[in-house]
Structure 1
Amino acid sequence: MTLPSSPTPPPLEGLSPEAQAVTARAVQAVHAHADACEAAGDVTPGAAAALRASGYTRLTLPRGAGGLGASLTGYAAAQLALGQANAALALVLAMHTHVVGAAFQARTLPGPLLEALAQASRDGRLVNALASEPELGSPSRGGLPRTVAVPDGDGWRVTGRKTWATGARALDLALVSAAAPGGEVVRLLVPMDAPGVGVEPTWTGALALRGSGSHDVTFAEVRVPAEHAAPPGAPHPASSAWFWTAVAATYLGVGFAALHALTRYARERVPTALGAPLATLPRVQENVGRIASELHAARALLEDSTRGWDAHPTPGALPRLAAAKAHATGAAVNATDLAVRTAGGAALMPALPLERLLRDARAGLTHPPSDEVGYASLGAALLADG
C-alpha cells in the first residue's frame, strides 16, 4: 500500500488571502520536489527554482516594503503547513523568512542592507544567515567566529568557513557573521556567486533533513562593499522570536504529518487475522489520541506565545516562545516515534513517510534553544513574577 506523503495543510489562520495563496504555492512546490531532493541529498535546481517562484520570500517582508506583512502568528501557521509537506525544503524557506521578519521588526541593520534584503525578497532570491562554524558550533551560547572580516578600502574582505548552511546551493545571498578587528562581530551580506565563495558537500549521508543541502560554505578574501555591512550591535529579541517560531512551527508540522500518515494507514490497513482495519483496535486508538493531544497542545502554546509577541514584541515575551519551541520539537519527536511503534514494520519502508518523518523530527532538538534553556527560561520568568 502506497500512501501520499503530504497531508492536507492545516488552516492558515492569521494570514491575508494573498499570503494564504502564496503559502499554498510554496506547499505545492515543497511537496513536488521533496522526494527528488531527499534522493539527491541536496536542494535540486528545480526545487530551488520552484521555491523562488512560489513568492514565499515576500511573506514576512512588511507591506510598505513590497511584502505580505505576515505577523509572527501568521508566520507560524504558514511554516507549520510547509513543515507538514517536508521539513528539509520548509527550512530553506524558513531561513529566509525568519531573517527578513526579524530584520525589519528590529531595524538594527543599516538602511542599504535592509533595502537589499527587501529587493531580494521581492525578486524571490533566497537568503540565509550563516553563523555556525566547525569550531564554534552554534553561536547561541556565545563565542567569537573564526571567520574574519578585514577592512579593505571602502569595504571588507571576508575569509572563513560556515557550516550547517541550510539550502547552501540554492542560496542567492548569505548574511555572514564575522569577527572584525577589535574582537567585535559584524554581519555582511555576501552574494553566493561572488568570487571566492565556495560550497563544500559536507551534508552527504545526513541522518535527517537530507534534502536540505546544509553544506559548508567557504569564503576566501571575498570583497563586500561597506553599504552591505552591519556594524557591531547588541542582539535584538526579534531575532530569537522569529527564529524560534520558524523552527517550532516547521517541526510541529512534521509531527502533524506523522499523525495524518498514521491515521490514514490505520483506516486502510486490514490484516487478514483481524478482518477489520487497524483503526478498530483500542491500542491504536489510544496511541492516535495521545499523539493528537500532544501536538494540539504544542500548537496551542505556540499560537498563544506568538500572539503575545505580536501584541507586545518585547524581551518579556521571549520565555513563552522559548518554551513553545522546546515543547513543539519534543512533541514532534514523540509523535513520530509513537507513530512508528504503532504502524509496526510497515513504518520502516518508504511506502509510508513515517521513517523519514522520524528522522527529520529529531533534527528539531539540535536547534536553539535547547530543552533545558527553553523550559528554564519560562520557569524563571514565572518564578520572578511572584
Structure 2
Amino acid sequence: MSARFDTAAARLRPVFAQIATGTVEREREHRLPFDEVRALKDAGFGALRVPVEFGGDGLSIAEVAELLVELATADSNLPQIFRGHLAYLEDRLVAEPSAERDAWLTRLGSGEIVGNAWSEVGAGGLGSPTTRATRDGDAWRVDGRKFYTTGSIFADWTDVTAASDDGDVTALVRTDAPGVTIHDDWDGFGQPLTGTGTIVFDGAPSEHVALFGERFRYQTAHYQLVLLAVLAGIATAVERDAGHEIRSRTRVYSHGLAARVQDDAQIQSVVGEISSIAYTAKQLVRGVASALDAAAATALERDSAADVAANVEAEIRAAQAQVVLSEFVPRAATLLFNTLGASATSTTKALDRHWRNARTVASHNPVIYKSRIVGDWSINGTPPPFIWSIGTAESTGITADTEEKS
C-alpha cells in the first residue's frame, strides 16, 4: 500500500468506527444511513480514486478495495451504496482527456456522489430498456421507471441507462431535478438500507449523455468487485462477532469439552473455519482488484491484444471469486450460530443480518451462470461475456447488447 493509502485510511477509519456503533440499530429500525453517507462524503470516501490534481487521493483500485472491505465490516450496506459512484468515476478516469472529463472529475473530487439507475422490472425485452432519453433542442430529457437504483436516494446524481434515437445511452440526472421521484421501496430481506428502490423520471433534464458502448470495458468485473468486498467485509464481521460473543459467554453445556466456551475445542474448530473463510475472502478481493488495476492500465489501448487479455483476466477472476464467496460467506454466517446458544437468535443482537445480507449480495449477477462461464473458459478458452442483460425473451440462447446491474 502507498503513503497516500495510509493517509486516506487514517482519515477514514475513525468514520468507519463511528458507523459501526450504529449498525445494529439502523438495521432493526430500518433507518436509512443518510448521516453516515454524508460523513463518508465529507471524509472524501467518494474521491479516493480521483486523481490528486482534481481533489482526490489518487488511490489504485486495489487500495480502494481494501477500504471497501473495512467499511463493509462496519456496515455492509454502505459500500454497496457507493457501487454506482465508483463505476461512474472509473468510466471518467479512463475516458479520453477532455474538458468534460476534467469537469466531472472536479465534481467528483469535490465530494459529489453518483447513484445507479440501470435496471428495470416488468415485461421489458432483453437488451431493450423502456426508459428513453430524448433530445430537447441542445439538451436531453429522460422518461421512464427504474428499480434496483442502489445508492441514488443518497446521491447528487444518478447514472441512467436509456434507449434513444442514437442507440442505447447512459445519462446523468440530478436526483433533485424536476421530474425525478425516488422511492425507498426495496423490500429485500438483506442489504435493506442501500436505497435500492424505484426512481421515476418524467421529462427529467439530463447531462453527459453518452453511448453505452463507449463505457469502460471492465465495468462488469468492477461492479462485481464491490459486491465481493461487501462479502469479505461480512465474513470479517462474522469472525469479529463470533469472537466477541464467545468470549462473553459464561454458560456452557454439560456435554461440551471445557469449563469455558472459549476453551472448547469444538467451538474453536468452528471459528477456525469462519476465520479461514474471512481470510480467503479478503485475499480473493485483492486478487480481483489487482486484475482490475491491470485492465485500467490498458484502457487507453482499447481492443489491443494487451487490453483484451487484461479484461478477460479481470472478468474471469471476478467470476471465480464470486463462485467461491457466494457459497462460503453465507456458510460462515450460518456457522456463527453453531458457536452460540439460542440466545444468539435474539433480535437485539441482529446477528441474523450477516446471513441475510450475504445471501442477498450473493444473489446479484446469478452465480450459476458465472460458474458455467468460468468452466467454458477453463475447458475451451472461451472469452467471458463482458455485457449482459435481463428481460423477457421468446426463446433461449439470446445474447443481448446492453447490461443491467442490480
TM-score normalised to structure 2 length: 0.81
Match of 1:377 in 2: 373
Match of 1:264 in 2: 244
Specify the code of the residue in structure 2 equivalent to 1:249.
A
| In the alignment, structure 1 residue 189 sits paired with structure 2 residue 186 | no
| In the alignment, structure 1 residue 62 sits paired with structure 2 residue 59 | no
Specify the code of the residue in structure 1 equivalent to 2:106.
Q
Report if the CA contact (8 A) 1:43-1:170 is conserved.
no
Q: Which deviates further from its counterpart, 371-380 or 319-328?
A: 371-380
Report if the CA contact (8 A) 1:270-1:277 is conserved.
yes
Specify the code of the residue in structure 2 equivalent to 1:173.
W
CA-to-aligned-CA distance 1:163-202 (integer Å, 9 cap, x gap): 12223331110111111126x2111111111100011231
Report if the CA contact (8 A) 1:157-1:223 is conserved.
yes
Specify the code of the residue in structure 2 equivalent to 1:254.
I
TM-score normalised to structure 1 length: 0.85
Report if the CA contact (8 A) 2:15-2:40 is conserved.
yes
CA-to-aligned-CA distance 1:121-150 (integer Å, 9 cap, x gap): 22222211210112279x9xx522111111
Deviation at 1:42, TM superposition (A): 4.6
CA-to-aligned-CA distance 1:20-67 (integer Å, 9 cap, x gap): 124314413532553454355352442332232121011122334332
Match of 1:163 in 2: 147
Deviation at 1:155, TM superposition (A): 1.6
Match of 1:199 in 2: 182
Match of 1:250 in 2: 230
Aligned mates of 1:338, 1:15 — CA distance in 2 = 37
| In the alignment, structure 1 residue 286 sits paired with structure 2 residue 269 | yes
**Cα–Cα, structure 1 residues 221 and 250, in superposed 2: closer, same or farther, change >3 Å?**
same
User: SS of the residue aligned with 1:240?
Assistant: helix
Specify the code of the residue in structure 2 equivalent to 1:257.
A
CA-to-aligned-CA distance 1:304-351 (integer Å, 9 cap, x gap): 232233235522212012211332333221111111233232221144
Aligned mates of 2:274, 2:8 — CA distance in 1 = 29
Report if the CA contact (8 A) 1:26-1:56 is conserved.
no
Aligned mates of 2:3, 2:85 — CA distance in 1 = 20
Structure 1 unaligned residues grouped into runs of 5+ = 1-11
Match of 1:92 in 2: 81
Question: What pairs up with 1:119-198 in 2 under 5 angstroms?
Answer: 119-135=106-122, 142-181=126-165, 184-198=167-181
Structure 2 unaligned residues grouped into runs of 5+ = 297-309, 383-406
CA-to-aligned-CA distance 1:44-98 (integer Å, 9 cap, x gap): 4423322321210111223343322222221221111011001112321333223
**Cα–Cα, structure 1 residues 218 and 149, in superposed 2: closer, same or farther, change >3 Å?**
same
Report if the CA contact (8 A) 1:13-1:77 is conserved.
no
CA-to-aligned-CA distance 1:234-259 (integer Å, 9 cap, x gap): 55332123211111011210111011
Provide the alpha-carbon RMSD of the alignment: 2.7
Report if the CA contact (8 A) 1:56-1:93 is conserved.
no
Match of 2:391 in 1: none
**Cα–Cα, structure 1 residues 268 and 33, in superposed 2: closer, same or farther, change >3 Å?**
closer
Aligned mates of 1:21, 1:379 — CA distance in 2 = 41
Aligned with residue 205 of structure 2, among 212, 217, 223: 223
Question: What pairs up with 1:273-352 in 2 under 5 angstroms?
Answer: 276-313=259-296, 314-317=310-313, 318-352=315-349
**Cα–Cα, structure 1 residues 299 and 273, in superposed 2: closer, same or farther, change >3 Å?**
closer
Report if the CA contact (8 A) 1:39-1:211 is conserved.
no
Aligned mates of 2:287, 2:33 — CA distance in 1 = 36
Report if the CA contact (8 A) 1:174-1:191 is conserved.
yes
Match of 2:398 in 1: none
**Cα–Cα, structure 1 residues 277 and 94, in superposed 2: closer, same or farther, change >3 Å?**
farther
Aligned mates of 1:71, 1:136 — CA distance in 2 = 40
Report if the CA contact (8 A) 1:252-1:329 is conserved.
no
Match of 1:3 in 2: none
User: SS of the residue aligned with 1:128?
Assistant: strand
Q: Aligned pairs, how many?
A: 365
